[in-house]
Homo-oligomer: A and B are copies of this chain.
Amino acid sequence: MQVRYKLWLEEGEHVFGEGLFELLQEIEQRGSINQAARSLNMSYRQAWGQVKKAELRLGQRLLATRVGGEAGGGAELTPAGRWFLQRFKEFKHAAGEAIEAAFRQYFG
């Protein structure tokens, strides 16, 4: 038997979770939504929509994008984007450890 969990943040509605976390991470190191989506095996439409919805609900931009140009365009994280990425990463790690520990304590 094993424990499973999902963690996310809400601002009335879902704004930041595992999916967006991985997506932003990938965008940060690839420089484009398209590349990131591809590498995570999802469609550009899906990736873009996810970011857009979060930005709307948070009331702030997570990505700075450009259209056209040398590489056709691209995207990079705004300071807010980097902030969320970093914080969520640390939070997720701490919470995950604690959950596993509690599981071991009560079911191990």
Q: Which residues of A contact B (CB under 8 A)?
A: 1-11, 14-15, 87-88, 90-91, 94-95, 98-99, 101-103, 105-107
- Number of chain copies forming the complex: 2
Q: CA–CA, A107 to B86, complex, Å?
A: 11
- Asked whether, in the complex, the Cβ of A5 is within 8 Å of the Cβ of B5, the reply is yes
Which single member of B3, B6, B94, B101 contacts A9 (CB below 8 Å)?
Answer: B3
| Cβ contact of A107, chosen from B6, B8, B87, B99, cutoff 8 A | B87
- Of B4, B8, B98, which contacts A4 at CB under 8 A? B8
Asked whether, in the complex, the Cβ of B9 is within 8 Å of the Cβ of A107, the reply is yes
Q: How far is the CA of A107 from the CA of B9 in the complex (A)?
A: 10
A80 to B32, CA, bound (A): 52
